[in-house]
Amino acid sequence: MAIADLGLLLLQLALYFMVMATLFGLRHRYGIGIFFCALGAMHFLETYLAATFYVAVPPGIVVSPGSTILFSGKIMLLLLVYIREDAVAVRQPIYGLFMGNILTIGLVALLRANVIVPTAGPAPDFLFMDQMGTLMIWGTLLLLADGILIILVYEQLGRWYRGSMLARLAASGVIVLTFDQLMFWPVLHLVAEVPVDTFLGGWVAKATTACICAVLVTAYLRYFEPRVFDGFAHPRLLDVFDALTYRQRYEELLQRTGRDGLTGVSDRGQMESEAENMIMGSIKRGMPVSVLLIDIDDFKRVNDEFGHLVGDAVLRSLAQMLTHSLRDSDRIYRFGGDEFVVVSNNLAADGARSLADRLHWQTATLRNPDLREPLTISIGLATSPQDGTNFISLLSAADKRLYSAKTTGRNRVVGTDGEPGDDAAGLVRQT
C-alpha cells in the first residue's frame, strides 16, 4: 500500500503542476488573476490536509499531501512567478490570502453570536474552525516570509549556479522549505496534535518535492512556455469576455502610435518622447530606474549570410521574447537596426543585472532553423542615481558598457560592476 500511496502522491503532484502551469502560461491571454484564484482556492485544502490527512510512503515515512504537494508546489510556483514576472506579482496572492484569513476569523467570531437553529445535519464545529483559522493565519505569515526568502535565496545562489537553472531552483526550494518545516510544524503539532514522527517525514517529502518541481519548472521555462503559450499572447474574439472588452481593445489599437513596423515594439521616436518623463518621474518619487541597451551579436553577418528575411525573423523573435519576459511596467523600444532599449522603473542595479542575465540566457534558447548557431546578445546596464539622473546620461552609461561587452568578446552582460556575465550560448550547447 505504501508504494501505491507514493504513486498517488506523484500523480497528484503531476496533475497539480500541470494545471497550475497551464493557467500561468495562459496569463497573457486571460490575465494572471485566474492563476492566483486557483492558487488561493487550494489554501484551505492544503491547511486542512496538513492537519488531518497523512499517508505512509517508502521508506517508511508519514507525509501529508497538503504540505508535500500543495504547499511545496505553491512555493515553487511563486518562484516561477518571480522569474517570469516580478516580486510585486508574487506579493499579490500572499497579501490576498492573509486578508482573506483575517476576514474568515472575524466572520467566525460573529457567527458565534448567532442563535443556531438545530437541524438534522451535524452541528457547526467552532473548535475546528478556530484550529483551522490559527493554522491558516500562521501559515500565511510564513508564506510571506517564504516568498521573500526564496527570492533572496534564488538571487544569491545565482552567483554559484549561474550556469544551472535546475540546481539553482532545487537548492532554493530545499532551503526555504526546510525553514518552513522548522517554523510551521511546531504550531501544527501544538494546534492539531499531529504525531512527532511526521516532522522528519514531512521535511524529506518537502525537499523531494522541491527537487521534482525544480525539474518541472526548468522544463516549463525552457520548452513549454516559449513554444506552447506564446501563441496565446493576443486574444481572439472567442468568448463573452472578449466580446465585452472589444471596445477597449479597439481604443487601444487606435492608440498604438509610435510602433516599430517590423517588431511591434515602440520605436525610437516614442522612446525620445516618453522615456525621459518616465525616468524623471521615478527619480522624483525616490525610486531607482534602470536602462538596458541590448544588441544582437554579429547581426550584419546574419543578414549577409542568410538574407534580410532571416534577419527580420530574428529581430521579430527576439522582440517577442523580450516583450514577454518583461514586467508590464517596463518599456521596450527598438533603438536602431539591431539594438533595443529597455527602461525599467523601480528596478535597482541588482534587479537589473538579474533581469539582463535572464534575457541573455533566454535569447540563447531561441531557435531559428536557418541559423547554424544559437542567437546571442550583448547587454549594457545603467541604473540611477549612480549612473545618472536623466535618460541621456543613463543611456550613455549603458552604451559604454555595451561597447565594453562587445570589445571583450560579445555574448555577455556588463553592469555597474563592470564584470561580464557568462557565455549563455555556450551553456545551451553544453546542455
Task: Classify residue 207 as exposed, middle or buried by CB count within 10 Å of its CB (0-12, 13-18, 19+).
Answer: middle
| AA identity, residue 276 | E
Domains along the sequence of the chain with CATH: 2-112+124-232 (no CATH), 256-430 (3.30.70.270)
Alpha-carbon distance of 80 to 169, in angstroms, equals 9
The answer to whether residues 22 and 11 touch, using CB atoms and an 8 Å cutoff, is: no
Alpha-carbon distance of 368 to 276, in angstroms, equals 35
| Contact partners, residue 59, CB within 8 Å, separation at least 6 | none
- Taking only the tens place, the pLDDT of each residue in 43-65 is 888 888 888 898 888 888 888 99
* pLDDT tens, residue order, the chain (431 aa): 678 888 999 999 999 999 999 999 888 778 889 999 999 888 888 888 888 898 888 888 888 999 899 999 999 999 999 888 877 888 888 888 888 888 888 887 888 788 777 777 777 777 777 778 788 888 888 888 898 899 889 888 877 876 688 999 999 999 999 999 999 889 888 888 888 888 888 899 999 999 999 999 999 988 887 666 654 444 444 444 454 454 455 545 545 567 887 888 998 888 988 899 889 988 888 899 999 999 999 998 888 888 888 889 999 999 999 999 998 889 999 998 899 999 999 999 999 999 999 999 999 888 877 787 888 999 999 999 999 999 999 999 999 999 999 999 999 999 877 665 555 444 333 33
pLDDT of residue 421: 55
What are residue 57's DSSP bridge partners? 61
Strands 413-414 and 377-383: parallel
Q: Which residues of 233-263 are buried (b: 16+ CB within 10 A; e: fewer)?
A: eeeeeeeeeeeeeeeeeeeeeeeeebebeeb
pLDDT of residue 14: 95
Alpha-carbon distance of 359 to 253, in angstroms, equals 27
Of the candidates 74, 67, 75, 49, the one whose C-alpha atom is nearest the C-alpha of residue 202 is 67
Q: Which residue has the cell 472567442?
A: 238
Alpha-carbon distance of 280 to 37, in angstroms, equals 36
- Tell me the torsion sign for CA atoms 262, 263, 265, 267: negative
- Tell me the torsion sign for CA atoms 32, 212, 12, 76: negative
pLDDT of residue 261: 79
C-alpha cell belonging to residue 36: 492566483
| AA identity, residue 50 | A
The answer to whether residues 232 and 28 touch, using CB atoms and an 8 Å cutoff, is: yes
Q: Which residue has the cell 503542476?
A: 17
Q: Which residue has the cell 510551521?
A: 184
Alpha-carbon distance of 69 to 56, in angstroms, equals 14
- Taking only the tens place, the pLDDT of each residue in 342-384 is 999 999 999 999 999 999 999 988 887 778 788 899 999 999 9
Q: Which residues of 58-77 are buried (b: 16+ CB within 10 A; e: fewer)?
A: eeebbbbbbbbbbbbbbbbb
Indicate the helix (H) or strand (E) that contains 402: helix 391-407
Alpha-carbon distance of 140 to 146, in angstroms, equals 9
Indicate the helix (H) or strand (E) that contains 289: strand 289-296
- Neighbouring CB atoms inside 10 A of 404's CB total 15
Residues across the chain:
431
Alpha-carbon distance of 153 to 179, in angstroms, equals 12
| Contact partners, residue 260, CB within 8 Å, separation at least 6 | 266, 267, 319, 334
Question: DSSP label at 339?
Answer: E
pLDDT of residue 427: 38
C-alpha cell belonging to residue 366: 531561441
Alpha-carbon distance of 380 to 290, in angstroms, equals 11
Of the candidates 380, 374, 379, 353, the one whose C-alpha atom is nearest the C-alpha of residue 426 is 374
| Contact partners, residue 218, CB within 8 Å, separation at least 6 | 165, 166, 169
pLDDT of residue 223: 83
Alpha-carbon distance of 41 to 43, in angstroms, equals 6
Spatial strand order of the sheet with 413-414 comes to 331-334, 339-345, 289-296, 377-383, 413-414
C-alpha cell belonging to residue 247: 471596445
